[in-house]
Structures are given as structure tokens and as C-alpha cells.
């Protein structure tokens, strides 16, 4: 799996998101179009594992929290960035989503939950913020950001 093939695999998802409000209706629509048991979800999940094994995805960080941007925002990605994080039983750094965040949770451990959710799509609306948290083992989380906007904040 190389970056060009991964970008091509993400194109239908990006096209389904582009131009839509980043809200709970988008999350519901993505879960209908690309369900956790569906072909696209499984293809993205397999591609992420292959890319991590190849060394170009999740190449930053340390065990328990590895991450990396795999697609920069631009015309080909309809101004959405794509990042993937590999998390295991962790409370990650607090950050805000000025324009929202669209997440795809792919549990590696069967009991793994991202912010309390199992496999599938969730959306954080514009202006939201959180400490991304994985419990119950390991998970991959792919997230798309309009214009690549994310603001890491200092914890109190």
C-alpha cells in the first residue's frame, strides 16, 4: 500500500464529505454509506495496517501514541486533510476543531473504544474540543479535518 493508492481508496469517502456540514447528520450518513461491516471500511482498515507495516503511516510519536498526516488538504482532497493515529489505552493531548473533525474508529483490540465509541464514524462539530481517549486496548483512528485545521491546547 502506497500513499497514492491510499488517497485513491479515500476518494469516495472524501467525495461523500465534501461540501456537507460537519455535524451529526454527516456522521449518520457516513455510518450508512460506509458501515463498519462494509467493504470500504474493511479496505481502509486493511490499508492502514499495511501502510503502518510499510513504515509510512503513523511514523511519528512513541509506542501507545503514533500518528501522522497522510493526506494534506488541497484540491485533490477537497480541502480535507487525512491523519491516522495509533492509540493504546491513552488519554491524548487536548485539542480543538475550529472547523470540525470527522473520525473513523477502527478497533485493533476487540474491546477498544475511542471516546466511548466502537467501530464506525463519529463527528466533532466546529468549535468542539476534547482529549482523544482510547480505552480497552488499541485502536486506529483516521480523522479528516476541513482545511487541516486543528489547535492543540495546553492542559490545565
Angle, helix 3-17 to helix 24-33, in steps of 10 degrees: 120
The C-alpha atoms of residue 14 and residue 24 are separated, in whole angstroms, by: 17
Q: What tens digit of pLDDT does each residue of 7-34 get?
A: 999 999 999 999 999 999 999 999 999 9
Verdict on whether the full-model pTM lies above 0.85:
yes
How many other C-beta atoms lie within 10 A of the C-beta of residue 144? 26
Which range marks the domain in which residue 76 is found?
Answer: 3-152
Give Cα separations from 152 to 1, 102, 136 (angstroms): 30, 17, 25
Place of cell 461523500: 16
Among residues 105, 156, 107, 97, the alpha carbon closest in space to that of 129 is found at 97
Domain count, the chain: 1
CATH label of the domain that carries residue 44 = 2.60.120.10
Among residues 115, 117, 49, the alpha carbon closest in space to that of 84 is found at 49
Q: What tens digit of pLDDT does each residue of 79-133 get?
A: 999 999 999 999 999 999 999 999 999 999 999 999 999 999 999 999 999 999 9
Amino acid at each position: 500500500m502506497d500513499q497514492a493508492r491510499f488517497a485513491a481508496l479515500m476518494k469516495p469517502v472524501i467525495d461523500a464529505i465534501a461540501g456537507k456540514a460537519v455535524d451529526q447528520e454527516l456522521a449518520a450518513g457516513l455510518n450508512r454509506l460506509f458501515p463498519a461491516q462494509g467493504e470500504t471500511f474493511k479496505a481502509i482498515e486493511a490499508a492502514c495496517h499495511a501502510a503502518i507495516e510499510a513504515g509510512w503511516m503513523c511514523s511519528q510519536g512513541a509506542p501507545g501514541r503514533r500518528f501522522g498526516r497522510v493526506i494534506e488538504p488541497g484540491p485533490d482532497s477537497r480541502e480535507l486533510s487525512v491523519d491516522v493515529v495509533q492509540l493504546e489505552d491513552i488519554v491524548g493531548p487536548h485539542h480543538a476543531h475550529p472547523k470540525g473533525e470527522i473520525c473513523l474508529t477502527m478497533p485493533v483490540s476487540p474491546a477498544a473504544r475511542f471516546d466511548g465509541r466502537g467501530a464506525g464514524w463519529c463527528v466533532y462539530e466546529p468549535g468542539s474540543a476534547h482529549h482523544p481517549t482510547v480505552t480497552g486496548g488499541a485502536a486506529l483512528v483516521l480523522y479528516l479535518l476541513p482545511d487541516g485545521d486543528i489547535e492543540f491546547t495546553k492542559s490545565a
